[in-house]
Structure 1
Amino acid sequence: MRVSALEKTANYVILSLFALYAIFPIVTIAVTALRPKIGVTDPGLHIENFAEAWELGKFGSALTNSVLVALLVVSVALTFSVLAGYAFGTMRFRGSTFLFYLFLLGLMVPAEAIVIPLFFDLRTLGLTDTIWAVALPQIAQSVAFGTFWMRSQFRAMPPNLIEAASIDGAGGLRALVRIMIPPALPSIATVAVLMFMWTWNEFLIPLVMSPSGVWRTAPLGLSIFKGQYTADHALLSAAGVIIAAPIVVAFLFLQRYFINGMLEGAAKE
């Protein structure tokens, strides 16, 4: 299908407007973070706002906690998602449909509905105020989506790949590692980025599962900082940039795989 010059121009104009609409809030926050804070009259760029926000908000421990939780959640959830998606996508066994829909319950039940009884269960086990209390509920949520995503990926692959691996004497795990995972890397990277973003931005579960604040994560630290420095927009914006920076960096490193994975998913639909 041929596209006229007018249609191409209209597409570029519309996409440019949407891009500006998406980028404008980000640019606004970045510019505000460099403005003078309250009581400062110097009109220049104030990079020191980031250092001051870091020190006042004590974001070092919060960011460390978020990194540790995110690494634990993503590594465990991604491993389980690939294994479960491989089983549901390539194997036929009794009860597979029921088990798959049981996994999907993790997508249907909101965290707000179960976080309180889950807190009491974890407290009984002595896990509250530990990394496991913060990570385990998020692992369960991430595995539900990851299994759904990876099942679709593995089901879209040619069945003769598994048959050829079986003929060559490769077992199920070896076929997964050597045959199925390499072409699925874009989808795996997409799931990893999404899991990292969701875990990094999670607010309710760390708030409830760590009552003493030992495992206070970055969003909780930003919330407390916002309550203390509500009127100083420069410091608030600097703190927001600090909290968002790891997500931006992770996306920039994995954007090629992320976009490829999203495009492959759209093509399969």
Structure 2
Amino acid sequence: MKIARREAWTGRVLLLVLMAATLMPFLSLLVTALHPSGSYPLGLEWPDDPQWGNFATAFTAARMTELLKSSVLIVLGVVPISLVVATMAGFAIGHLRIPGRRFVFLAFALGLTLPFEGIITPLYYLVRDMGVLNTRWAIILPLIGLFMPFSVFWMRAHFVNMPEELSESARIDGAGTWQLFWRVHVPLAAPATSSLAILLFLWTWNQFLLAIVLVDDPLQRTMSGALGAFQGQWGTDIPLLCAGSLLILTPTLTVFLIFQRRFVTALLQGSLKG
């Protein structure tokens, strides 16, 4: 009993330490953002007169409304298309067992090893030759392709564990391949697709490298990509810069907090199956 209690308390202490380490950067940003504009705060010193108006100033200065619209358009261009293609590909590779599926799956698995930084130069010239440079399509199209290996890998892990008897029963009832996919397997894949959608949303919203390299206009970028232009304009005003950073982080934190249970449930299901 003593050993069990000791292990339980050790786990709780470690959890508290990890929580403190995770929350400390956000607390530092908040405290710094509340200092008077143009000042240089030191450490986590709480200001005598918190300047909550810095958030409104940063919202206006960074043109957050337009950046929010741009990010939403990019997310709507990336996430639905990636989900549909990845779900169909994962179903074909993982459940239908199409000819050559191993080589196709190996090609997608190799795609997981490609870092964004390693292909940014050829990607720039490819996007330029396609005529979409400096537009939102310069972010949307590459992200769909770059996210596809992981997305297919994720959905394939779900479909490969679906029982064959389920499909055989549906085929006996007269279901074709499309009906089998759309009416039987897609509803059962809701946990996997919803968690994948959350991941794709977070990765797209926080995309920084492609946004600053492929798009010159900050208002055509994601909110994270536009932070570079905001930093260049207000880099000497530390409180205002911290306020803008918190405003950009707010949507992703909100989405994760709302859907964290569904996301964790899907991860646990995958670990139990795998």
User: After TM superposition, is the score higher than 0.5?
Assistant: yes
Question: Residue in 2 aligned with 1:23?
Answer: 23
Select 1:95's aligned residue among 94, 97, 100. 100
Question: Residue in 2 aligned with 1:221?
Answer: 226
Q: What secondary structure is seen at the aligned counterpart in 2 of 1:4?
A: helix
Select 1:170's aligned residue among 162, 175, 198. 175
Q: Give the drift of 1:235.
A: 1.0
Q: Deviations over 1:206-236 (max 9, x none)?
A: 2222235562321232112222322322211
The CA distance in 2 between the partners of 1:222 and 1:214, in whole Å, is: 11
Farther off after superposition, 21-30 or 150-159: 21-30
Matches within 5 A, 1:86-125: 86-125=91-130
Q: Deviations over 1:191-213 (max 9, x none)?
A: 11111111112122122222355
Question: Residue in 2 aligned with 1:201?
Answer: 206
Q: Deviations over 1:154-209 (max 9, x none)?
A: 11222211111111212222222332233322221221111111111212212222
Structure 2 residue 255 is the aligned partner of structure 1 residue 242? no
Select 1:63's aligned residue among 57, 68, 85. 68
Could you list the runs of 4 or more consecutive aligned residues of structure 1 that deviate by over 4 angstroms after TM superposition? none
1:128–1:209 CA contact under 8 A, matched in 2 = yes
Question: Residue in 2 aligned with 1:34?
Answer: 34
Farther off after superposition, 146-155 or 156-165: 156-165
Q: What secondary structure is seen at the aligned counterpart in 2 of 1:77?
A: helix
Q: What secondary structure is seen at the aligned counterpart in 2 of 1:250?
A: helix
The CA distance in 2 between the partners of 1:48 and 1:145, in whole Å, is: 41
Give identity over the alignment, percent.
36
Farther off after superposition, 167-176 or 210-219: 210-219
Sort the Cα spacing of 1:53 and 1:214 in 2 relative to 1 into closer, same or farther, 3 A: closer
The CA distance in 2 between the partners of 1:167 and 1:259, in whole Å, is: 35
The CA distance in 1 between the partners of 2:258 and 2:71, in whole Å, is: 19
Q: Deviations over 1:79-130 (max 9, x none)?
A: 1111111111101222111111222233122222322222222322322222
Question: Residue in 2 aligned with 1:186?
Answer: 191
* Runs (5+) with no aligned partner, structure 1: none
Q: What secondary structure is seen at the aligned counterpart in 1 of 2:189?
A: helix
Select 2:260's aligned residue among 249, 255, 264. 255
